[in-house]
Structures are given as structure tokens and as C-alpha cells.
Structure 1
């Protein structure tokens, strides 16, 4: 079969009757569908198919699924296991928005969170918004960085995603509009091959309210994707990118598989591949990994 439609749900959330209904919908459009291939019993399955474009299959599956908490992504069957991952950090690999939480220590939490919201929705320029938010941190003691880090939590499935891909020969890069103070720690915790982000400036004891120029923004993320693909001898079709905000759109659009993860509306609307219900394990299932192949699962 030329394509595969992958359906992913929480454990126990996917059953044969649902797969049958999706199969019938694809067949009604003129597609030919093979028997389901279970990647994780009750949680993830492939439906190999031919005769339809990926976007047709996506639309048909989502119509059947309706409000069901199941994600569905169709793609060509060939080359689905990627050799480069470029991932956003805040609200993607970690559950937090680290700049917002850092700003709370400076007494500007709500103000910074609102600027972040507008920036991630594409309402204002990212670089200008970052400079404005960082300026509010001027004079903040460096201990606030450590305190923010102690509150930072990985997104479910993050470490399994990275360590499984690395174990299978992929380069995994963290590319964040946040700060290297956090990306370095997240990279070490999850096993990322490299990390790329903004550098907060300080005078040795307090933040200066400035970030090292040039700002690492949406264009920088795209540059990292292309540069790492080139350095590793990979075509962009062999790459996977994941993120949730407007500054991720460029890399999501260029990657072989660009996944909007619990994304802001502007990003969800632009990305064909979306994970709206599951955790980061979904990105492994989309590549055809089976439950037994995923590192760290009990």
C-alpha cells in the first residue's frame, strides 16, 4: 500500500469497531484498505491504504472520529521513520512556558504571559516580543532561574520519544525561542543530541534585561532544521519537526513530517499533521514504531 493512516488514542481508547468505521469511510471514497496493524494494543494502529491522497484520508478519518479523543494522521508509507527530529521546548517537550514562570519571580507574570500568548498566536513579532519580555527581567537574581527549573516538568512521552529515536540512529535537536539555561538541562534529561536557543545576559549575579543578539526566532528554527539535515546528509523528507506556536510554523512547513502538538489555533489551522489528544508517544507511532520498541515503557 502506498500510504498509511495512523490512529492514536489513550490506552484502551481505540477499538476494532472504530477502525472498521474509518476503513468503511476510506473505502467509500474509492480507497483500498488493508487490515489494521496494531502498534500498541488499544492505543495505536496503522491502516495501510492506496487510492487516496493523504489529506483525503485525514479528512475522512476526522469526520468519522468526530469528538472522539483519537488523533489521525495519514502519510506516504515509504520513509515514515525519520532520521532527524527538531523539537520546540515550551509547551511541547516541557509542560511549562519557562519565560512566563521566570517572569513571575520578577512580579510581571501576568503581563509577560499575555505577551507570550499574543506572540505564540502570531499576533505580534516574536523577536520584538522576546526583547520586551526579557527587559522586564532586568535585575532579577540568577537564583530565579534555578527556582524556575525546579518547577519545570517534561511532557509525557518526551524522554521516550527522544531516547527511542536516538537509539535508532536519529539526531534529535531542541530548538527553542526560550533560553539555553533551560534547553541545556532539558537536552541532558531527555538525551537530545543538540540544543539551540537564546542566551540570557547577566552581570554575574542578576539578569541585565537583555538577550544576546541575534534573537533565535522562527527563521532560526528553520535554519537549524536545514543545517542539521545537510550536516547529516539527509533530505528534508527524512526530518520530523514538532511545535505548538507561531514561531514553529516555518520549520513545521519545511519538515518531511511537521506535527502541530496541542497547538495554538493559527498553527493547528496551518499544519496538516496534528496531535490534539495524545502525548509525545504519538510521534513514535506516526513513524511506525511499535510499543515494544519504545524505550522507557513498562
Structure 2
């Protein structure tokens, strides 16, 4: 934890509009918590601003809990804000869908599988068991359905491509790590601009899914391992990592980023993850992760 004299920053991002009254309220809340707010700096006028402060980060986070009902709030040290490794989940984070649910729709069993997916994301079910059970229900689906599903239903989450392009512009790397399947993850990594990926492999016999998952499962532990491995391979210090996800299977990965001094973000996430993250995005798209890194709207790479 930084000392009371450290310079930190609270980034305030409105889903609608950020005005002077909101900035004043945030500054007052920090003062009431015994912290010392400084000047604000607009990242996008009327939308997002940095507010410098001196004091303990945890005290600031506690003081601003109520503000999070209206704003997305990132609180962190002012130094090393631009991260050099983005590690992200795919389904419902980088893309708008859960791929296994959409595959199930082609098999006519979407409701059945989607219920299991939701419970797994909430942390109510063992991830590996839930995954193997859902894949078993897809046995007999033609392999061409995978490409059809990608072409017809896979869409990037708003801001995903801007986030990747902008971060790669300053030399950052992207790792897409998913409990989903390689066919989808390979396509999405290419669409969004990730440098590397890790995912599960669907078992296929002839032209049909055989109801199994080949090899080891990419679960919560593997996601965290992939984060550490990528960071070490790139020679990065731990605080230069940003991890993002939306469900219980992302908790260890997000906690790994936080423990290293980086950003662990929950994107429109289940409470099981949002409660663990140090930045919960509830009101904005993925470009909130650029504001959190201190990137002005005019400096985004819009493609």
C-alpha cells in the first residue's frame, strides 16, 4: 500500500455525463475520508476525468463506493498507468455472446445449456465439470456449424478493437485466454488484434463433434498461469498487467493482476468477480480501460 504522501489518481467515467458537481462531490468524499484531493484533469470533457489525491488507495476506494452507482471509478497509483500486457477473457467480455450457448442454439438446446453457463459464471458449479457436461450435449453437431456460428453471431464488444489498437500502439501485447474453444478464440483474436491466445479444443470425429474436450481444460487456474507466463516471457514487471473478465472463472486471473499492482477489471460482471476486482465497469464499454490508463479520448486509435 502506498504511503499517505503518495500521489494517486481516481479516474471517473460517466455512462452519461460527468459534470462539475460530480467532481466536487468526489473531492468532498475524499476529504471526509482524510485524503487530500488535488486538481482534476479532463480525459474527455463531460465524460471522463482524473482526480489526483494524496493518501491511501484503499481508503479512497471505500470512500467512493456510493459514487460507483453513477460512475465507473478506477483508483490507482499515478505511476505506471499505461499497461504493457492485456490479458482478457473472451465470451461476454471481448465478444458479446457466450459461444457455447450459441452453438447449442443450432442444436436446439440453447435454454438448457445457457442455464448451466450462467450458473458456472456465477461460481455455483465446478467449471470443468460444467464445461464437459455442456460439450457432451453437443455431440453429433456438424463441425461446419462452428464456422456458421462465428460468421453469423460473433461480434466484438463495443470498444474492444479500439482498446487493442491503442494499447498495441504503445507496444503493449494482448493475450486472449478463454474457457471457450480454439476455433472461436482464433477468429476473435484476429478480429480484435490479440497477439496470442489460449483456449479449449473441441473433440471432433470425422465431421461431427464427439462430445468431448481434447486435452487439459483452460480453467481459472490455467488463466492465471497464462498471465504469469506471458508477463515473464515479455520481461514485464507485475504492475504493467491489465486483466479483464466477467465471470467466476476469471477471478484468479484478475486477482493475479491486482496482487502484482496492476489493474484487475470486471466488465459488466457477475458479483462473484465484481467484488474481487479493483475496477468494475458497469456503465461504459471497454474504452473505459483506456480512460483508466490515463489515455485521452483524442489519443485513441479509432482504426
TM-score by length of 1: 0.95
Tell me the equivalent position of 1:103. 104
Report the secondary structure of 2:216's partner residue: coil
Tell me the equivalent position of 1:119. 120
Tell me the equivalent position of 1:9. 14
**1:96 Cα shift?**
0.3
Tell me the equivalent position of 2:149. 148
Tell me the equivalent position of 2:60. 57
How many Å separate the matches in 2 of 1:167 and 1:183? Answer: 22
**1:61 Cα shift?**
2.2
The alignment yields a C-alpha RMSD, in angstroms, of 1.3
Which of 238, 242, 245 in structure 2 is aligned with 1:243? 245
Report the secondary structure of 1:21's partner residue: helix
Asked if 1:203 is matched to 2:209, the reply is no
Tell me the equivalent position of 2:3. none
Which stretch of the first structure deviates more once superposed, 275-284 or 262-271? 262-271
How many Å separate the matches in 1 of 2:18 and 2:96? Answer: 25
TM-score by length of 2: 0.93
Which stretch of the first structure deviates more once superposed, 262-271 or 175-184? 262-271
How many Å separate the matches in 2 of 1:220 and 1:67? Answer: 33
Conserved? CA contact 2:30–2:63, under 8 Å: yes
Which of 245, 265, 275 in structure 2 is aligned with 1:269? 275
Tell me the equivalent position of 2:92. 91
Q: Deviations over 1:24-49 (max 9, x none)?
A: 11122222212110111111100010
Report the secondary structure of 1:36's partner residue: strand
What does residue range 146-295 of structure 1 map to in structure 2 within 5 Å? 146-149=147-150, 150-255=152-257, 256-295=262-301
Conserved? CA contact 1:55–1:272, under 8 Å: no
How many Å separate the matches in 1 of 2:180 and 2:272? Answer: 20
Q: How many residues align?
A: 293
Tell me the equivalent position of 1:26. 30
How many Å separate the matches in 1 of 2:68 and 2:41? Answer: 22
**1:66 Cα shift?**
6.2
Tell me the equivalent position of 1:136. 137
Q: Deviations over 1:106-132 (max 9, x none)?
A: 122111111111111111111111110
Change (3 A) 1:66 1:227: closer
Tell me the equivalent position of 1:41. 45
**1:262 Cα shift?**
0.7
